[in-house]
Structure formats: C-alpha cells, structure tokens
Amino acid sequence: MAEKDRVLVLIPAFNEEERIGTVIEEVKKYLPEGEVVVINDGSADRTADVIIKAGAKVINLPFNLGVGSALQTGYKFAIKEGYDYVIQLDADGQHVPSFLPVFLEKIRRTKSDLVIGSRFLSPGPYAGSRVRRIGIIFFARLTSFLIRQRLTDPLSGYRAMKRAVVELCSRDAYTFDYPDADFLLALHRQRFKIEEIPVTMNPRKGGQSQHRGLGPIFYIFKIMLSILVNLLRKNERSAHGD
Amino acid sequence: MAIKLKLLSLLVSFGMMFGIIELVRRRKLKEEYSFLWLITGFFLLILTLRFDLLTRITQALGVVSSLNTLFFFGLIFVILLCLHYSLKVSQLTVEMKILAQKIALLEAEINSNIKNDAVCPIPFKG
C-alpha cells in the first residue's frame, strides 16, 4: 500500500451484537492496515459495547436513521479525517472479509472509482429467497440499461470507493435511503467509473435486516421514483470527470 | 340564507379566526402555519355576509348546489394543507438527519479526545 494511503473500513450496524464482534476480528485479520469504524445506527442491544470490546471505533447515532444515512455519517467522517479509500461491508457476516485485500488492490490500481462485490459473478453459498433474486435481477437489468454497463449485483453493499465518490456521497443533497440503483445512476451521471468483482457471500445470520420496515412493493416504488427524479434533475457535474 | 344558519356560520368564522390568532399569541402555533387557516376563516366570513357570492360562484362553476361548492373548496383546502405539512415534514426529516449525524460525529470526536487524555468518556443518552 502506498505510504500515504489511508483506508477506512466502514460498517453500518443495527442490533448486530451477535455478529459484529466476529466481523471486526476478521476485518482486522484480512486488512490490518485498514481502520475499522462502525456506525451504530441506534441499536437497542449491546452492539456498541461489542464494537468497543473488539477494538474498533464506534460512532453512535442517537436514533435509527436507516442504512443510507448511517453510511453517509461514515462518509462524512472519512472526509473529515482525510481517508483516501472507503471499503464498506455489512455487520451481519454476509460479506466475507477475506476479499478486502482484493477490493483495496482494485480500487488502488485501477481507474475505477467504485468497485462493487458481486455475488453473481462467482458461485457461492448465497442463495437468497426467490423473490429477492427476482428483485435483484430486475434492478440489475434496469441499472445496466440506465448506465449502459452490465452490472450483476447493484444491491450489493460490499463496495470500495475512492475519496471523490465518498466526497460526493457525503453531501446532504445525495442522501439515499439505501444506496441502490438510483445511487449508481447518480454516480454514472457524475462520470464515475464503476466496476464489479466476484465475491462470495454467506447467508444472513442473526441481527436485523437494514431493509426492515419497508414492504417490497413500497421499496420498489421508492427506488423507481428516485430514479425518475434523478433523470429529471439537471446534471450538475462536479469537477470530477470534466 | 336562513338567519340561524347565518348566525352559526358567523360564529364559526369568527371563532376560527380568533381561535387561530389566540393559538399564535400563546406560541402554540407558528405564524407560517396559521396563514391557510386565517384565509379560510376570512373567506367563510365573506361568504356568510355575501351569500350571493357563493351562489354566483356555484353558477359560474356549473355546480348544482351551493353546498357542493363549499365542500369542493373545503376539500381543496384540506389537500393544500396536507401538501404544506408534507413539505414541512420532508424538510424536518432532512434537518433531523443532519443534526443526528453531527451529534454522532461530535460525540465520537469528544470521546476520542477524552480517551487520549485518559478521562472518562461522555456516553450519549438518547
């Protein structure tokens, strides 16, 4: 790793006392040079205590804001503290930390601004429910159409990004309830380069899903509306890519 | 318009306007939220005193009954009010999010500084 590069491993967590300790341990094992920060999104259990005991930094939100705003808190922290790269993964153990060095290598060595870990580029134990798979395929095709680039797993929360992407995502005008197809479209319109790498993912164990409280139909409606208004907005291009 | 109905309507119109002003005076209602209510109360008052205006509006719109005209505009008012509240709630949601994030980041910074000085941290109690 270049001497001056600083890497933040960002983990949003909501009621993940059972798994977060193990996740932090594995992250430190596979990416010792990364600094682990967990955004405790208003957990009611001992998530914060487990994070501190595992030796990671915790940022406690005073109440639950949802995964999008929790991640944005982490982005704001990353910009403030001067990190060059941010790698984010889930706190529930679905994302396999052994891929962290692969993410870092890819984001450092290539021109890609955002690297997404796709569970569908390689065979793995993740199966997911049929409904969920249909949803993922739908959004994958929609996103691929919108950004004119084939993506297989736009819903994957296992991602690495360069500082420029982090800076954009830290702006309050770019808050997304969940960084999804609309988020990728926004990045594409800002001319950021997006790439996928194959990863394996585990089935979810314990904790509470970040998607809780959102019925699938309402969720799809929100994403579609977000995409529509994104396309209708004037594309105020940042200095990146000009 | 029948006298009793006219009196009742006047009572409601004045009552609404004075009630809203009193709520603003007691700081229970902000001025910006009282605007629509006061305008409605004022129009109710005008229509009560000049019922022929309601009749003329009803005829101009091609509505069968003056009561239907009143209901129609009442519905428009409620829709506008709900839209106003939705806009306000959206704004407050964003502001709340920004505030919560700032608090979390500040608390983390304080705890980090305190930790370096080996003093007990300040936990956030929501």
SS (H, E, C) A91-154: CCCCECHHHHHHHHHHHHHCCCCEEEEECCCCCCCCCCCHHHHHHHHHHHHHHHHHHCCCCCCC
Q: Tens digit of pLDDT for each residue in A159-191?
A: 999 999 999 999 987 766 666 778 898 899 999
Distance to chain B for A202, nearest Cα, Å: 30
In chain B, residues with a C-beta closer than 8 Å to the C-beta of A69 are: 97, 100-101
Distance to chain B for A78, nearest Cα, Å: 11
By mean pLDDT, which of A106-120, A141-155, B27-41 is the weakest?
Answer: B27-41
Q: Which of residues 37-56 of A touch B (CB under 8 A)?
A: 39, 42
Mutate to test the interface with A, among B101, B102, B125 (most CBs of A within 10 A): B101
Spatial contact of A162 and A83, defined as CB atoms under 8 Å apart: no
Question: How would residue A134 be classed by pLDDT, with cut points 50, 70 and 90?
Answer: confident
Query: Token pair 């949601």 is at which residue?
Result: B93
Backbone angles phi, psi at A76, to 5 degrees: -60, -40
Q: How far apart are CA A34 and CA A41, in angstroms?
A: 21
DSSP B88-115: HHHHHHHHHHHHHHHHHHHHHHHHHHHH
- Supply the pLDDT for residue A1: 46
- Supply the pLDDT for residue A179: 66
Q: At what angle do helices A181-189 and A216-232 cross, to 10 degrees?
A: 10
Q: How far apart are CA A23 and CA A18, in angstroms?
A: 10
* CB spacing of B101 vs A80 below 8 angstroms: no
- Supply the pLDDT for residue A238: 53
By mean pLDDT, which of A107-116, A144-153, A223-232 is the weakest?
Answer: A223-232
Nearest to A101 by CA among A199, A18, A185: A199
In chain A, residues with a C-beta closer than 8 Å to the C-beta of B101 are: 61, 65, 69, 72-73, 76
Pick from B94, B103, B108: CB nearest A172: B94
* CB spacing of A69 vs B101 below 8 angstroms: yes
* CB spacing of B108 vs A61 below 8 angstroms: no
Per-residue pLDDT of chain B (126 residues; tens, 9 = 90+): 678 888 888 898 899 899 999 998 888 988 888 888 888 888 888 888 888 888 899 999 999 988 888 888 888 888 988 998 999 999 999 999 999 999 999 999 999 888 777 555 555 554
B65 membership: H or E segment, kind and range: none
B124 touches chain A (CB under 8 A): yes
Question: How would residue A121 be classed by pLDDT, with cut points 50, 70 and 90?
Answer: confident
Distance to chain A for B97, nearest Cα, Å: 7
Mutate to test the interface with B, among A73, A83, A171, A176 (most CBs of B within 10 A): A73
* Nearest C-alpha in B relative to A37: B108
